[in-house]
Amino acid sequence: MIKVEHLSKHFGKVKAVDGISFDVKEHENLVLLGTSGCGKTTTLKMLNRLIEPTHGKIFINNKNILEQQPEILRRGIGYVLQNNGLFPHYTVGENIAIVPQLLNWDKKKIQHRVSELLEKLHLSKAYFNVYPNELSGGQQQRVGLARALVADPPVLLMDEPFGALDNVTKSKIHAEFKVLDELKKKTIIMVTHDVQEAFELGDRICLMDAGKIVQQGTPADLLFKPKNKFVEDFLKEQRLQLEFKAIKPPQPPEGGTLRLNGVVLSRDVSMWWVMEQFKFKGSESLSIYDDQDREIEKLGFEDLMSAFYQYKQQQTHE
Amino acid sequence: MNDQQQTLWDFMRQQSDKLATQTLEHIGLTFISLFLAVLVGLPLGILIARRRKLSGSVLGIAGILQTIPSIALLGFMIPLLGIGPKPAIVALLLYALLPIIRNTYTGITGVDAAVKEAAMAMGMSKWQILFKVELPLAMPVILAGIRTATVITVGVATLASYIAAGGLGEFIFGGISLNNTNMILAGAIPAALLAIIFDFLLSRVQKLNFKKIKAGTYALPVVIVLLASVYFIPSAYGSKLTAGFTPEFMGRQDGNLGLQSKYHLKIHTIVISDAVMYKAAYEKQLDVISGYSTDGRLKAYNLVVLKDDKNIFPPYFAAPIVREDALRKFPELEMTLNQLSGKINDTVMTELNYRTDYLHESPEKVAKDFLVSKNLWRPDRSGSDGIVRIGSKIFGEQYILANMYSMLIKGYTDYDVTTKTGLGGTKICFDALTNNQIDFYPEYTGTGFLVILQPSQQIINSVEGSKEKTYNYVKEEFEKRYQIKWLQPIGFNNAYALMMRQKQAAALNVKSITDLKNYLDKK
Ligand SMILES: Nc1ncnc2c1ncn2[C@@H]1O[C@H](COP(=O)(O)OP(=O)(O)OP(=O)(O)O)[C@@H](O)[C@H]1O
Ligand SMILES: [Mg+2]
């Protein structure tokens, strides 16, 4: 869906982005990960032409975006800024309604859509007429997200959307983020320098350093098959937690489901997530159902742990 | 103090019509200029916020404009725009420009880059970003600039009266020339109040604005236009000719008031400063002006004096006035000074003034040339028989006279001379004389009569504006009161006079003020 080829951006002598290429499939969530100043924001901004590339090509839906009119292109791409960039002189409602207004939606439709989003993002209706400076940082982030989502663009670019949050709020928003139906059908490129966040939210990760992509792949690829010392070092901290996040519980057969307390789970939940459920929700087992809706296996904590070690063994021996 | 307030109040009540018109004119002038300044300054500010490279030169030019002295700026405008509201508005506009451009620029460049980027990222066009993001967010800063500009404009608008554009300056500058404190205050207090009120109102607009900008941005221009429309440009010319009189002349019994009561002259009159009046007459912006009969500009601009056939302007014949003890100390002094008596008439004095004021020749050279031409000049005898101290007031004519006297004394006597030229005004000169700091200086009969002696109305009437009677009266009174002697008059009369362009006067066959009145009364 998004294809980036040999993309570079030079600011004078500084090679902020230096010949990177990557693909993002439809409905995939790609994370650009790296230390401060490695060129993540610059890369992201080139995708909606806030910055014009020095070299390289960008295709979205097989169309070269450098040949499109920037304003029109941008209205079809949701963008969440590194520091939210809400209009201080617009109310929350007006902020969210900016793009629909640009697209000339009628008033009722805008009103309806804005209320719908406020609700989905757990923002009370009372905030509709409030100005951004009266909101907490987390609430502002959500408004920023709502503003990017409102016109239902197929592509969403997010620059450290949860950057300014404390860890507790962050993991709460992460959880909400993962289950938000609005995001399920979107192709997302998300920038972060937080490794845990990348592992939690990313289907695939591009690890960047000094304008180049050092390695790209699934979280498990990076963790268990690091290309070089840089990647290894980058993931060294809290490695165990990362491993739990990178590894999935045993998967059901084709057509089957994973269930926790009878509730069907998404196929891509991590081991970490299941463990958390065990701990906080008091569940004791994860059930695997086949395509006939028959329970074929019931896994307790011990079973999961041994599955985890088995998987790890397998990865490192490969 | 109480008395003072009482009379100020009385003055304002008496002149309430004028006060109201002047205040309205003042408000109108302020806001027309302000409106135009916003119309010009806002786009310029936006432009330089977009093209930062231009900002240095544009702000620089606006800054320089603001440092040009107001009178000079108004003077430049006359050849281009004439006199009246047009040049005044342009000048005010130029002064108001800098704060508006500067604040628009800082306001827009100060908008949070993240917010601008967000606007761009959502697909707003440049113009949408300008109107929906940059201008609303910069509005408090822009309003602060407009506020500063308003206060500046209210202040500078007082100067509009110099070039006949009305406003509260008429009272202020009229009051200053007439030494009438109540008149000054009647202009100054409302002007200050206007500044304070507008400043306060705009500060309210500024505060109220942040959240309700959308309503505010539309309301403000409307208010400014409404206030601007208050200024009905005084263009209902009733008569064929236009007169321009100084504020001083307007308020004096021996000025415009006399013109009306004695000649019944009905002419469309505007108030204008002495500094630009002659030029405006030359540029055909004015037809009749009130000047001084020996002013060098009379010659420079080809003007003629209309004969005062009803003698309303009191005579201002010049003569040296000397302390009597100095005459005793320097026995040859009187004779020497009197050599000049009857030698200089109005035309000659005008010519001499023209050479110093307009051709910028030194008063010394002009004095010597004149004495040589009259065969009065003699080489310096370098005497040392005491020192005579000559005083003079602070304008060209007096410098010339002081130089002539100095040369005569040095050439004809053995006295030495020091000169104290440039003694501010009549009062300073006269005090220096009575306090034995100078021995003599040239004074005018009218000044001695009205300013120093300040006689009762009865005496003024009895003198009837006659040259001899005035001279005799001041001579007697000065001897009695101050032991100061008026020597023989030099000959010229530097009095108020009405003047017209030579060509026009000839074409209309107007030679005297009565001729002028008759011409104006003809339908
Ligand atoms: N407009 C610019 N002009 C010059 N240099 C720039 C510009 N924008 C970015 N850079 C440089 O390019 C490099 C990459 O910047 P970028 O903002 O993409 O980093 P980042 O990975 O997003 O960092 P962070 O995590 O701190 O946001 C940095 O060295 C930065 O200084
Ligand atoms: Mg960044």
How many domains are there within chain A? 2
Which residues from chain A sit within 8 angstroms of residue B211, using beta carbons?
89, 131
**C-alpha to C-alpha distances, B119 to A159, B22, B52, nearest whole angstrom:** 15, 48, 21
Write out the residue range of the structural domain in which residue A168 sits: 2-246
Alpha helices in B288-439 (DSSP H): 296-300, 324-329, 333-338, 346-353, 363-373, 396-412, 426-434
* Position in ligand 1 atom list of the atom nearest CA A211: 14
Which residues from chain B sit within 8 angstroms of residue A75, using beta carbons?
122-123
Quick one: residue B69, left, alpha or beta (phi over 0 = left, psi -120 to 50 = alpha)? beta
Q: Locate tokens 């969530």: which residue?
A: A29
Q: CATH second-level architecture of B242-311+497-521? A: 3-Layer(aba) Sandwich (3.40)
Asked if B142 and B150 touch (Cβ cutoff 8 Å), the reply is no
Cβ of A74 and B133 within 8 Å? no
pLDDT at residue B230, as a whole number: 63
What is the Cα–Cα distance from A9 to A57, expressed in whole angstroms?
A: 12
Sheet holding A187-192, edge to edge: A77-80, A155-159, A187-192, A29-34, A204-209, A212-217
- Whether ipTM > 0.90 holds is no
Ligand 1 binding pocket, CB closer than 6 Å? A 11, 14, 16, 34, 36-42, 82, 193
Q: Mark whether A232 and A275 lie in a shared domain.
A: no
| Residue pLDDT tens, chain B, 523 long | 444 455 788 888 878 888 888 898 898 889 889 989 999 999 999 999 999 888 899 889 888 888 888 777 877 777 788 777 888 888 889 889 999 999 999 999 999 999 999 999 999 999 999 999 999 899 889 989 999 999 999 998 888 887 778 888 888 877 776 667 788 888 999 999 999 999 998 888 777 655 555 555 666 667 777 776 666 544 444 457 888 888 778 777 778 878 888 888 888 888 887 778 888 888 888 899 988 888 888 888 999 999 988 888 888 999 999 999 999 999 999 999 999 999 999 999 999 999 988 888 899 999 999 999 999 999 999 888 899 999 998 778 899 999 999 999 999 999 999 998 777 677 788 989 999 999 999 999 988 888 788 888 888 888 877 888 999 999 999 999 999 999 999 999 988 899 999 999 999 999 999 999 998 888 6
Q: Which amino acid is at B256?
A: N
Please tell me if residue B136 touches chain A, with a CB cutoff of 8 Å. yes
The shortest CB-CB distance from A71 to any of B123, B133, B213 is to: B123
Distance A243 CA to ligand 2 centre (A): 26
Sheet holding B242-245, edge to edge: B268-271, B242-245, B288-292, B496-501, B303-305
**CA–CA–CA angle A284, A177, A139 (5° rounding):** 120
pLDDT at residue A87, as a whole number: 92
Closest CA of chain B from A275, distance in Å: 39
**C-alpha to C-alpha distances, A141 to A39, A74, A183, nearest whole angstrom:** 22, 20, 15
Q: Mark whether A170 and A36 lie in a shared domain.
A: yes
Backbone angles phi, psi at B312, to 5 degrees: -90, -25
Residue bearing the CA closest to ligand 1, atom 25: A36
Give the chain A residue whose CA is nearest to the CA of B124. Answer: A71
The shortest CB-CB distance from B123 to any of A81, A87, A99 is to: A99
Question: Which of B125, B133, B167, B153 is CA-nearest to residue B18?
Answer: B167
Which residues from chain A sit within 8 angstroms of residue B120, using beta carbons?
50, 74
Please tell me if residue B309 touches chain A, with a CB cutoff of 8 Å. no
What is the Cα–Cα distance from B116 to B134, expressed in whole angstroms?
A: 8
* Strand, helix or coil for residue B244: strand
Q: Which residues of chain A have pLDDT under 50?
A: none
Q: Mark whether A20 and A89 lie in a shared domain.
A: yes
In which element (H, E) is residue A157 found?
strand A155-159
Q: Which amino acid is at B458?
A: Q
Q: Mark whether A240 and A284 lie in a shared domain.
A: no
Q: Mark whether A122 and A47 lie in a shared domain.
A: yes
Give contacts of A 147-186 with B, CB under 8 A.
147
Q: Locate tokens 């098959």: which residue?
A: A225
Does residue A72 form part of some domain? Answer: yes
In which element (H, E) is residue B309 found?
none
Q: Mark whether A141 and A74 lie in a shared domain.
A: yes
Distance A70 CA to ligand 1 centre (A): 21
Does residue A157 form part of some domain? Answer: yes
Cβ of A88 and B137 within 8 Å? yes
Of the listed ligands, the closest to the CA of A46 is 1
What is the Cα–Cα distance from B467 to B470, expressed in whole angstroms?
A: 5
Which residues from chain B sit within 8 angstroms of residue A159, using beta carbons?
none
Residue bearing the CA closest to ligand 1, atom 2: A11
Q: Mark whether A162 and A37 lie in a shared domain.
A: yes
The shortest CB-CB distance from A102 to any of B117, B124, B133 is to: B124
* Strand, helix or coil for residue B283: coil
Distance B365 CA to ligand 2 centre (A): 79
Orientation of helix B2-14 relative to helix B181-209, angle to 10°: 80
Q: Mark whether A159 and A276 lie in a shared domain.
A: no
- A256's CB contacts (< 8 A; 6+ apart) are A288, A289, A290, A291, A296
Sign of the four-CA dihedral A98, A102, A103, A104: positive
Q: CATH second-level architecture of B2-232? A: Orthogonal Bundle (1.10)
Cβ of A48 and B121 within 8 Å? yes
Give contacts of B 93-132 with A, CB under 8 A.
112, 114-115, 117-125, 128
Q: Which of A246, A274, A304 is a domain's end point? A: A246
What is the Cα–Cα distance from B315 to B497, expressed in whole angstroms?
A: 10
Q: Which of A7, A11, A84 to mutate to test the pocket of ligand 1 (most atoms within 8 A of CB)?
A: A11
Asked if B172 and B178 touch (Cβ cutoff 8 Å), the reply is no
Alpha helices in A165-270 (DSSP H): 167-179, 181-184, 195-201, 219-224, 229-234, 239-246
CB pairs under 8 A between A and B: 58
Residue bearing the CA closest to ligand 1, atom 30: A37
Tally the residues of chain A.
318
CATH number at residue A184: 3.40.50.300
- Diameter of chain A by CA atoms? 64
Closest CA of chain A from B174, distance in Å: 50
> Whole-model pTM above 0.90?
no
Does residue A252 form part of some domain? Answer: no
The shortest CB-CB distance from A83 to any of B114, B122, B128 is to: B114
Cβ of A89 and B136 within 8 Å? yes
Please tell me if residue B217 touches chain A, with a CB cutoff of 8 Å. no
Asked if B123 and B97 touch (Cβ cutoff 8 Å), the reply is no
- Which of A84, A87, A140, A191 has the highest number of chain B CBs within 10 A, making it the mutation to test binding with B? A87
Does residue A251 form part of some domain? Answer: no
Asked if B109 and B116 touch (Cβ cutoff 8 Å), the reply is no
Which residues from chain A sit within 8 angstroms of residue B124, using beta carbons?
71, 98, 102
Question: Which of A179, A148, A151, A152 is CA-nearest to residue A161?
Answer: A148
Compute the 3-state secondary structure of chain A and give helix, strand, coil in percent, each to the nearest 5: 40, 25, 35
Closest CA of chain B from A4, distance in Å: 19
Does residue A291 form part of some domain? Answer: yes
Question: Which of B279, B286, B285 is CA-nearest to residue B302?
Answer: B279
Q: Mark whether A224 and A308 lie in a shared domain.
A: no
pLDDT at residue B387, as a whole number: 94
Give contacts of A 220-239 with B, CB under 8 A.
none
Q: Mark whether A172 and A269 lie in a shared domain.
A: no
Question: Which of B337, B335, B416 is CA-nearest to residue B383?
Answer: B416
Could you tell me how far CA A220 lies from the centroid of its own chain?
A: 16
Residue bearing the CA closest to ligand 1, atom 3: A11
Q: What is the CATH number of domain B318-494?
A: 3.10.105.10
Asked if B391 and B425 touch (Cβ cutoff 8 Å), the reply is no
What is the Cα–Cα distance from A100 to A104, expressed in whole angstroms?
A: 6
What is the Cα–Cα distance from B405 to B411, expressed in whole angstroms?
A: 10
What is the Cα–Cα distance from B51 to B105, expressed in whole angstroms?
A: 10
Residue bearing the CA closest to ligand 1, atom 16: A39
Q: Mark whether A181 and A216 lie in a shared domain.
A: yes
Orientation of helix B396-412 relative to helix B346-353, angle to 10°: 100
Residue bearing the CA closest to ligand 1, atom 14: A39
Closest CA of chain A from B224, distance in Å: 24
Q: Locate tokens 């700091």: which residue?
A: B437
Which residues from chain A sit within 8 angstroms of residue B121, using beta carbons?
48, 50, 74, 79, 81, 85
Give the chain A residue whose CA is nearest to the CA of B123. Answer: A71
Q: Mark whether A33 and A92 lie in a shared domain.
A: yes
Q: Where are the domains of chain B?
A: 2-232, 242-311+497-521, 318-494
Q: Locate tokens 């500010």: which residue?
A: B45
